Amino acid sequence: MGDKNFDIPVTVETAQTGRFFTVTRVGQAADFLVHRWPEQKKGPKHRAALQALMDVMQERKAVAAAREAFTAAAKEADIFIREGRQFG
Q: What was the pLDDT predicted at 17?
A: 81
Q: Which residues touch 16 (CB under 8 Å, ≥6 apart)? A: none
Are 26 and 6 in contact, with CB atoms under 8 Å apart?
yes
The pLDDT of residue 85: 58
pTM to 2 decimal places: 0.89
> How confident is the model over 59-64, as a mean pLDDT?
94
pLDDT tens for each residue of 9-37? 999 998 888 889 999 999 999 999 999 99
Predicted confidence band of residue 82 (pLDDT cuts 50, 70, 90): confident
Residue 39 CB contacts under 8 Å (≥ 6 apart), including other chains = none
Give the total residue count for the chain.
88
Q: Quick one: three-class SS letters along 52-85?
A: HHHHHHCCCCCHHHHHHHHHHHHHHCCCCEEECC
